[in-house]
Structure 1
Amino acid sequence: MKKTAILLLSVLLVLLMAGCGDDPAASSAAPEVVDSEVADVNAEVENESGEDAVPAGITGETEADSVTDSDSSATTAETDTGASTEGAVDVAAMAEAVAVALTEDYAEDALPVRNQLLIGTLKLEGSELAVTQEQATQLLLLWQASAALSRSGTGAPEEIAAVVSQIEATMTQAQIAAIAEMQLTRESMQLMAQEMGLTMGDGSGDGAGGTNRGQGQELSAEEMATREAERAERTSSGATTALLDMLIEMLTSRSQA
């Protein structure tokens, strides 16, 4: 608009000068002045246009920056996704790493952890969780050590517990979880001993259920309870010994297979 207005003013100026009768030299010089002014206007317009326009180099840099920002955003997104995935894997790994430990608080007559491992290992036979040949080789040595400590009566509680912990660590988490679900009790041990055809006397020496105590004297309720507990303990001990021998025999055969 500015350029057009200046051109119109220049034309009007030429017309006015022509109408006033100026000499030809002045008239001929007028177009040159007009042309000069027009050229100046064009230069000014071009300069203004140049200030408003974005140089090609700058435009290229802007586009490059845009691409860089896009790539950076994509990289950040991938990094965040990777971090989330790694976090999920870490959580899964941590959850999987949590040990399934055997306890003795599920029942009043719950078996000790050692006997849970003993009975549980025998019960796993014939299933997909049965001990492998490699496990059998390691477990054989550990159970032999456990048997030696328990039968000698000289093993310190710490030594016995350490061997039991090694036995538990040799089993897989799936095997330990399966044994934990069995919730084995003293009755479970006696039933298994019967299923295996094992018979163990309690060695009490009592007659007729152990209620008589010589010279016709009867036991008090407290004495009877104590006697029953002792008999159950002896029976359990006998069953443990017999089943332990059976387990060692099985592990020996499996390790040599």
Structure 2
Amino acid sequence: AWSMIAKTTGIVLHTLRYGESSLIVHAYTEHFGRISLMAKGVRNEKKPGRAALLQPLRIISMEIYYKPSREIQILKEFASALPEQFQLPDPVKGAVSLFMAELLYKVLREEEPNEPMFRFLYQSVLQLNRLQKGTANYHLFFAVHLTKYLGFFPSGNFDEYHCFFDGTSGKFVEQLKASVNAMPQEESALLATLMNLSPQNLENVYLNGIQRSRFLDEIIKFYQIHLEGMGKIRSIDVLREVFSANRES
């Protein structure tokens, strides 16, 4: 079967150590959708910093030896496509990035290009990178808006009569019509707020760690109804730790 050298941009979702100095990288790319790549020798001590470019949610431009019949493609060259990305260590942005990358790793399955999805993800990483305030709520905003591109964005409006979001039907409903999968009223109200918010206004959404945790649990439940076999999101525990340590966020 033929192979070619292809250039594309990708967002790192997950990496796995392989052998003594290599990594297997799962990424979501502009031209191929989800892809698995072998990054040979990147953990070599002679090239410090190379593996750091492949951390979750990093955007990289890459050249790959691409062969359609191969399960794992070979990463030939790569560089940061956003040199300013997360230059200053920020524990909140770091935890939010881990969550976003893990969520994408669990839900993105298409091995074919999806330009609207890629554009949304690229813009989301840019937004998180540039956001000065409200970063502690960004993962909630992201999880809500990602559903648009996965095909189950909530419909209807939250109002005094329809104040429970029902995950099964994907609609805001009256209390009597709410199924066992309905979000409590407080979380339903927050969902409606996040659906209609621009990221610049996230700093005006005042939530404590408990409210964030509750909403995150509810939105993940909503995902699990619509995506079979999604499994548990482990980085939620990291988020809880970071938010309890950073009281002001």
Which TM-score bucket, shorter chain as reference?
A: under 0.3
If you compute each CA radius of gyration, which structure gives the higher value, 1 or 2?
1
Higher helix share: 1
Please report the TM-score for the alignment, with normalisation by the length of structure 2. Answer: 0.22
Choose between structure 1 and 2 for higher RCO, CA contacts under 8 A separated by at least 6 residues: 1
Answer 1 or 2: which has greater strand percent: 2
